[in-house]
Amino acid sequence: MAKTLQARTADLSGVEASVEAWKRKVQAEKEAKEKALAAERAAEEARKAKEDEAAAKAKAKAEKEAEAEAEANEEAAKAEANEKEAKASAEAKANEDAEAAKAKAAAEAKAAKAKADTAQKASAPAAKEAHVLESEARLKHLKAVHAASEPILNSADPRVKKIRMDVKKQIGEACNQVANTPKSIKLVVTKLCKVLSEARAAGPEYLNFSLDILAGRLTSQVKVLTEIRSCFPLAHVAAMCSVHTPELADIFVAHLNQMCPFTVPFCPGRRPDQSPQEYLATSGMEWDDERNAPEQAEKYQMRMTMAISLLAATMQTTPYDGSPQPKGLTFDDLWAWLARLVNGQVHMYTAMTILALLETAGFALLTQYKRQFQKLLELIQRDVLPNLSRDAKSGAAASLARLNTFLGENQVCNEPEGRVPKESAISKDDEEHESSNDNRGGYNNNNNNNRSNGGGRGRGRGRGGYR
């Protein structure tokens, strides 16, 4: 019995030991699990903290970038506003300068007239006539345009250089296409008006630069033309471009006044302080360096005749779209020009000037003014012709003989050949080919574009087309 009890006690002790061992094991496992969970929580918290830190850094970076972008946009807006303000200020100043120049010229003209009216005729120097003062104002404005164009001509800025080259190229190529047909004239006018519109959008300085280039290109043709008929297509282009851009008219006339004083009309006398070369320059005559002498009279008269004819042709041109004639290039201006010639003091080139004007625009003046113009012609025959120069060396005698014949045979009733543009035999395909050539700049290789149609004075001793 005692042994049995001892055995059971021993078994019970073993069981208790096993239970204690199991409890320790369970406790160890629990502690290990809790430790693992704690480590996992710590890792999760560390990961979350790292993510929060990265998010905070990203947010800070984004905010910094947004702030920098906002600052850049603000600076760009300021720069754009400053540029617009500067452009507006420059345009306003240019307008103010132009208005000031006009006002000053008007004031000078008014002051000169007042001085002439109040001075004693016996002692006062001869006052300049109003139309001469107007011409001087035009030439002064042209000089200002040239000065304002210097920055454009001399700029190294790629954008300015591109505009400068595009203007010269487009105007030159368009002028090379002038022919005495309606389609050709309209095509050229459309191209030139597009150039002027783009120049106006670029700013007043670019518009004046373009107007000067165009006027110079048109008027320079008088140096190579030899027939009046060649002036008519150029006149249509000048008139229609002046309708589109009225500022062109004054610059166009100024160029002609500069190269030919008889377009004013005015015959300059030599001042005591002038050299022979300086005086010749004021009369439009060029100096021949090879001969070391003034150019030959025939060459000078031809260039003066073409300048007179170009201006007269433009003033008698009626815009083909029905618009009024541009200011400064009207029938009234043409009539005033002829009246000043008739009423003014005669000189060596009076016959040449009247003849060129009547041959070019006499028919149009007769159509416009009828009997009033016939009376003016009678006045020329009765009072002017007997007083004109008969100098043979200068060519005045030959001009007088032709003028006598022109008036005596009533040739003013004959419409000049080429006055009205007419379609040529060029086919539609040829015209489309010419138009496509415009995109390649190939005008100088197209001989059809370098001719004008019609006829005129029998002076076909050279080219009648355009360069």
3 state DSSP class of 293:
strand
Q: 175 falls in which pLDDT band (50, 70, 90)?
A: very high
Give the containing element (helix H, strand E) for 287. strand 287-288
Q: 443 falls in which pLDDT band (50, 70, 90)?
A: very low
Beta strands in 130-205 (DSSP E): none
**How confident is the prediction for the chain on average, in pLDDT?**
85
Contact 233, 180 (CB under 8 A): yes
Contact 212, 455 (CB under 8 A): no
How many other CB atoms sit within 10 Å of the CB of residue 88? Answer: 10
Beta-carbon contacts of residue 129 (< 8 Å; ≥ 6 apart): 340
3 state DSSP class of 30:
helix
Q: Which domains, and CATH codes, for the chain?
A: 129-268+293-449 (1.25.40.510)
Above 70 in pLDDT, residue 307?
Answer: yes
Compute the average pLDDT of residues 125-146. 89
Above 90 in pLDDT, residue 145?
Answer: yes
Tokens of residue 109, six digits:
């003209």
Ramachandran category for residue 256: left, alpha or beta (phi over 0 → left; psi -120 to 50 → alpha): alpha
Above 90 in pLDDT, residue 331?
Answer: yes
What is d(CA 114, CA 224) in angstroms, rounded to the nearest whole number? Answer: 43
pLDDT tens string 271-305 = 778 777 777 778 888 888 888 888 888 999 999 99
Residue type, 164: R
Pick the closest to residue 432 from 184, 125, 245 (CA basis).
184
Beta strands in 54-151 (DSSP E): none
On the 0-12 / 13-18 / 19+ scale of CB atoms within 10 A, 174 is: buried
Above 80 in pLDDT, residue 181?
Answer: yes
Above 50 in pLDDT, residue 209?
Answer: yes
Beta-carbon contacts of residue 258 (< 8 Å; ≥ 6 apart): 139, 142
pLDDT tens string 233-263 = 999 999 999 999 999 999 999 999 999 999 9
What is d(CA 436, CA 439) in angstroms, rounded to the nearest whole number? Answer: 6
Tokens of residue 227, six digits:
């027939």
Compute the average pLDDT of residues 265-269. 83
pLDDT of residue 115: 65
Rounded to the nearest 10 degrees, the angle between the axes of helix 130-154 and helix 2-118 is: 150
pLDDT tens string 376-402 = 999 999 999 999 988 888 888 999 999
pTM of the entire predicted model: 0.66
What is d(CA 47, CA 248) in angstroms, rounded to the nearest whole number? Answer: 78
